[in-house]
């Protein structure tokens, strides 16, 4: 198997974003379009205390999982793509741009 696994954390300024199902879906949909990722299935879970979101997307390329951490003003992402040609180096910056946040951690693993 060959692919790229990108894991990162973004610090966001807009704390209301982290508990908004509608806004998270809009942002992740835009991110997937800009990142040329094809969503084939999705599920979203809302936590109540604290209000947080886990959003899982099955991609034709593999998967994207997003989790919000309102208590830390952060959102994390876990993207795996089985396409060896995928430009994973741009993922963190693109994700930070979409959330209007600052990328504070990112790891790229080649498998």
**pLDDT score, position 46:** 95
Catalytic residues: 62, 67, 82
Q: What is the pTM of this model?
A: 0.91
In this model, does residue 1 exceed pLDDT 60? no
Render the burial of 17-29: b for 16+ CB within 10 Å, e for the rest. bbbbeeebeebbe
In this model, does residue 27 exceed pLDDT 90? yes
CA distance 45 to 86: 28
Cβ-contact 108, 88 below 8 angstroms: yes
Mean pLDDT, the chain, integer: 92
Percent of the chain residues topping a pLDDT of 90: 77
CA distance 100 to 86: 23
**pLDDT score, position 19:** 93
Contacts of 4 (CB under 8 A, 6+ apart): 80, 81, 83, 84, 86, 88, 108, 109, 110, 111
Give the tokens for residue 89.
């180096």
Contacts of 36 (CB under 8 A, 6+ apart): none
Contacts of 51 (CB under 8 A, 6+ apart): 18, 19, 70
Cβ-contact 77, 94 below 8 angstroms: no
């Amino acid at each position: 198997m060959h692919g790229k696994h990108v894991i990162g954390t973004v610090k966001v300024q807009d704390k209301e974003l982290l508990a908004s199902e509608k806004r998270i879906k809009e942002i992740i949909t835009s991110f997937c379009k800009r990142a040329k990722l094809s969503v084939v299935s999705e599920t979203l879970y809302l936590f109540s205390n604290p209000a947080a979101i886990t959003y899982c997307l099955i991609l034709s390329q593999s998967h994207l999982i997003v989790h919000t951490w309102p208590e830390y003003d952060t959102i994390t992402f876990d993207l795996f793509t089985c396409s060896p040609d995928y430009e994973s180096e741009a993922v963190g910056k693109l994700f930070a741009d979409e959330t209007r946040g600052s990328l504070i951690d990112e790891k790229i693993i080649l498998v």
